[in-house]
Structure 1
Amino acid sequence: MRFSNYLRGGLVLVAAAAATPALADDAAPAGPTAPPPAITINGTAAIVSDYRFRGVSQTDKNFAVQGSITVTHKSGFYASIWASSVHGYVTAAGDYLHGTTAGQASVEMDLIGGYKKTFSGTTFDIGLLYYVYPKTKLAGDPTSSDFAEPYFDVSHTFGPLTAKATVNYAFKQKPLALNQVGPKKDNVYLAGDFTLAVPKTPVSLTAHIAHSFGPSWLATDATGKKGYTDWNLGATYTWKALTFGISYVDTDARFLTPSGKNASSSGAVGSITASF
């Protein structure tokens, strides 16, 4: 609809110019198009019915508030901060020694820096992601929660379909050790994502499948499995600066939260995201 309005307006201007050549000759020539800014800043604010990290609920299957700010340079380098409310069980820190809620996680912050560039329709993205859980390190608490994870992904668009492959590697770090003792652990996460933009509509269909190799603080089941698979199917609808989403999420893992819920069981997740 908007494109049609712009196109129709353009045709009217062309017709007017053709009908009045003298005025067109007297008009000042249009100046050069302004170059894109060297730095752009974008942000999002969202409400989700359940914050799922790699298929596992971080909010005991309750609502979460999320937001992000990204600064991008025209060279392709970018830096971003993303944050979400979480439940205290997502880290080992907090009440590990004290038996209270003091020091339990309430916020997850992801600090991200990377480089993204497109060559012949294929986009490459490489960077480092650092997970931070503020105010969870109490005096005398031997546990660790914050950890780093380099990542790399490549995507390509085939008409309305975009396919992306991602690998994240969390090198050996104490927070990945399930019992927080003994040798440090590492983790590899491989994912495939697909987005289909339905032509002539504001609707997109999404699909995701991934596998986590190695220990995970929240997704090792009672049988001692050292990895798990997560997947989801979803759809989004964009209206102006708002995006409405719904997805069905599932895993083959098992993690019981302190309230007795299985945080890694299947469920529907809804979201409303505002972009600015």
Structure 2
Amino acid sequence: MLKLHKTVVASGLLVLASVAVAAEKSPVSANVALTTNYVWRGVSQTAENSAIQGGFDYTHSGGFYLGTWGSNVNFGNDAVTSSDGDGASMELDFYGGYKFTAAGVNWDVGAIRYLYPDANSSLEYDFTEFYVGGGYGPFSLKYSNASDYQGVTTKSGTYLDAAFSMELSQGLALALHVGKSGGDGVQAAFGKKYTDYKISLTKEVGGVGIGLAYTDTNMSGAQEIKKGVSANDGQWMLTFSKSL
């Protein structure tokens, strides 16, 4: 009887080990997050309100990847959108690319499609960006280009993203970011080509990522929005995230 019990336990452990290995090698992953403010390139996408976000990723061992990600958004009331003035309420992104290492640099080349399913097509919110980025140690640099930028413009928009990250102590990580939005498309959409900044601290506690960040831009004058819809002045964000 004891021998049988040991055999059952051993078999059970073997099954659990096999499942664990299979899960570890799975090319599919998921993520979910709750944030107090969804800020994209220094501009609030939720009128400084909270957002629920999540996505799925497929990563091939050869370096190719595909993914999708979504979040609620709030661009305020816009009479063009509908008769009752409701703006877009959702952002849905699809992306894919290829990651590889060359000359000691971790490269990432790909494209991303930004969609706003419930926005009126006349607003032309949907747009596509192509990007190339490289990382070396704690530093990374990424360049994105949209030949037809978001909004009622046919002009291009660019974004140059420079970042630095490091672990401080006991899993606490610091990240610094500066980004430059340029191109005539950005000028048409925001009235100014601008720079955004971000500093964040993150730490995993009990399998949940906790992040605190502060972001700001160099917007001034008529382009500076201190509160509410499309706020681009100094903003704080607290985010809880989980990878599945």
What TM-score range do you get, normalising by the shorter chain?
Answer: 0.7 to 0.9
- Kept in 2, the 8 Å contact 1:68–1:83? The answer is yes
Find the aligned partners of 1:38 and 1:59 in 2 and give their Cα distance.
36
Matched, 1:56 2:43: yes
Name the structure 1 match of 2:91: 108
SS at match of 2:122: coil
**C-alpha deviation, 1:86, in angstroms:** 0.3
Find the aligned partners of 1:88 and 1:262 in 2 and give their Cα distance.
7
TM-score of the pair, normalised by structure 2: 0.81
Find the aligned partners of 2:218 and 2:165 in 1 and give their Cα distance.
23
Find the aligned partners of 2:51 and 2:187 in 1 and give their Cα distance.
20
Find the aligned partners of 1:58 and 1:255 in 2 and give their Cα distance.
15
Alpha-carbon distance change, 97 to 58 in structure 1, aligned in 2, over 3 angstroms:
closer
Name the structure 2 match of 1:96: 80
Name the structure 1 match of 2:140: 164
1:45-194 correspondence runs (5 A)? 45-89=32-76, 95-96=79-80, 98-102=82-86, 104-119=87-102, 121-137=104-120, 142-157=122-137, 162-173=138-149, 175-176=150-151, 180=152, 184-194=154-164
What per-residue deviation string (whole Å, max 9, x for no partner) do you get for residues 99-140 of structure 1?
A: 4235x2111011001001124642100000000001223xxx
Of 200, 203, 209, the residue aligned with 2:178 is 209
Aligned residues: 220
Root-mean-square deviation (CA), in Å? 2.7
**C-alpha deviation, 1:244, in angstroms:** 0.3
What per-residue deviation string (whole Å, max 9, x for no partner) do you get for residues 137-184 of structure 1?
A: 3xxx63311110001110011xxxx111010001135x34xxx2xx61
Task: Structure 2: state its 5+ residue gaps.
Answer: 1-20
- Kept in 1, the 8 Å contact 2:74–2:229? The answer is no
The one of the two structures with greater contact order (alpha-carbon pairs below 8 A, sep at least 6) is 2
**C-alpha deviation, 1:217, in angstroms:** 8.3
Amino acid at match of 1:187: G
SS at match of 1:145: coil
- Kept in 2, the 8 Å contact 1:190–1:211? The answer is yes
Alpha-carbon distance change, 218 to 248 in structure 1, aligned in 2, over 3 angstroms:
farther
Name the structure 2 match of 1:248: 214
Amino acid at match of 1:82: W
**C-alpha deviation, 1:197, in angstroms:** 1.2
Name the structure 1 match of 2:205: 239
Task: Structure 1: state its 5+ residue gaps.
Answer: 1-33
Matched, 1:196 2:162: no
Amino acid at match of 2:84: T
The structure with more radius of gyration: 1
Alpha-carbon distance change, 217 to 95 in structure 1, aligned in 2, over 3 angstroms:
farther
Find the aligned partners of 2:92 and 2:188 in 1 and give their Cα distance.
17
**C-alpha deviation, 1:72, in angstroms:** 0.5
Alpha-carbon distance change, 163 to 268 in structure 1, aligned in 2, over 3 angstroms:
same
- Kept in 2, the 8 Å contact 1:80–1:111? The answer is yes
Amino acid at match of 1:251: T
Of 223, 232, 241, the residue aligned with 1:273 is 241
Find the aligned partners of 1:36 and 1:84 in 2 and give their Cα distance.
27
**C-alpha deviation, 1:242, in angstroms:** 1.1
